[in-house]
Amino acid sequence: MQYTHLGRTGLKVSRLALGTMSFGELTDEATSFAIMDEALDAGINFFDTADVYGGPQSPDMEKGFGISEEIIGRWLAQGGRRDRIVLATKVYQPMDTGPNDKYLSAYHIRRACEASLKRLQTDHIDLYQMHHVDRATPWEEIWQAMEQLIREGKITYVGSSNFAGWDIATAQCTAASRNLLGLASEQSLYNLTQRTIELEVIPALRHFGVGLIPWSPIGMGLLGGVLRKIADGRRATPHLQQQIDRRRPQLEAYEALCDELGEAPSDVALAWLLHNPVVTAAISGPRIVEQLRQNLKALSLRLSDETLAKLDEIWPGPGGEAPKAYAW
C-alpha cells in the first residue's frame, strides 16, 4: 500500500480510501464487514463515511440514514481495529425534520458529532468533514464549534466537501485569524468526465496545502467499462443510460484506449486521479469485495505522458486553471 500525508498535516493515509456509502443500502452488513476486513488487510487505513449514509438521504423518506456509521461501529466493536484506521465522517445533511437538524450551526455540529460518535462506537473522529458549504452560517461560528470539539478530543482534523474555491479561501483565512490549522482536506466530485474543479478548487487547495479526496472517481460507473458490461447483458439505470447515450463516442474511444493498454477502465480512471499531486486519496466505494480487489490494482498502474495526453483528448478539461482557461 502507498501512503501520503493528508494535505499539509503530518497524518499519513492510504492513497485509496474506503468509501462506505453503499453500506446498509446496497451492501448488507456481512458483506460490509468482509469489505472492511479486506481493506484493512490490504493496508487501506482511510475509511470514509457520513451521518446520512446507509439509506435515503432525507428524513422525509423512510428512516435509513446513519446505518453506514452503525455498521462501521459494530465492526469496530469487535476490537483491535480502531487505532489502525483513520476514521472520517461528515456533518451537514438533514438528520431529522426539525429546523436545527441540518447544516452547520454550532448547535447542529455539536449534536451531530455526538450522534456520530455513538453510532460509530468510538470516542473520537479523526477527520470531521463538512458535507457541503453553509453560507448562511458565519465562519466564526463554524470554527468556534470545531475548535470546541477539538479541545474536547472528539475530533482531530476538519475537512470540507463540495466547496468552491472561494469557500476554501474564506474558511482558511478565518481559521488563520483564530490560529487554527483550518481545513486538512476537501472532498470534491472529480473524475475524467467531471473536471470543473481544475479551474479554481484545485489551485486553491494547492495554495493552502489542503489535500484533495475525489469522490465518484469512476463517474458513477460510467468509467468502469460500462459499454462492455452492457454488451455482456448488464442493465443500466435510466440515469446511467442517459449519460451513456450522451457520451457514447467518448466512451468508445476511452474503452478502446484501455484495451490497448491492457488495463481495466476503472483502474485507468483511478490511476489518472492519483497522478495529480494535489490528490491525497481516491475513494473506492465497492459494493462487493471483488470490486475492492480490482481497485487496488490502480495503485501500481503508471500512465505514460502519451496516455495522459490521449485521455485529455478524449475527456478534455476546462482548459486549465482560472483565469488563463478563459482569459488572456
Active site residues: 53
Query: DSSP assignment, residue 233?
Result: T
C-alpha cell read off for 111: 449534536
Distance, CA of 201 to CA of 168 (rounded, Å) = 8
Burial class (CB in 10 A: 0-12, 13-18, 19+), 322: middle
Question: If residue 16 lies in a helix (H) or strand (E), which one and from where to where?
Answer: strand 16-19
Phi and psi torsions of 18, nearest 5°: -90, 115
Identity of the residue numbered 77: A
Strand 282-284 to 183-189 pairing: unpaired
Distance, CA of 319 to CA of 310 (rounded, Å) = 15
Is there a contact between 190 and 273 (Cβ–Cβ < 8 Å)? yes
Report helix, strand or coil for 123. coil
What are the CA-CA distances from residue 6 to residues 3, 90, 267 (Å)? 9, 16, 22
Phi and psi torsions of 19, nearest 5°: -90, 135
C-alpha cell read off for 57: 438521504
Is the CA virtual torsion 29, 69, 1, 160 positive or negative?
positive
The DSSP line for 26-95 is TB-HHHHHHHHHHHHHHT--EEE--TTTTS-S-TTSSS-TTHHHHHHHHHHTTSS-GGGSEEEEEE-S-S
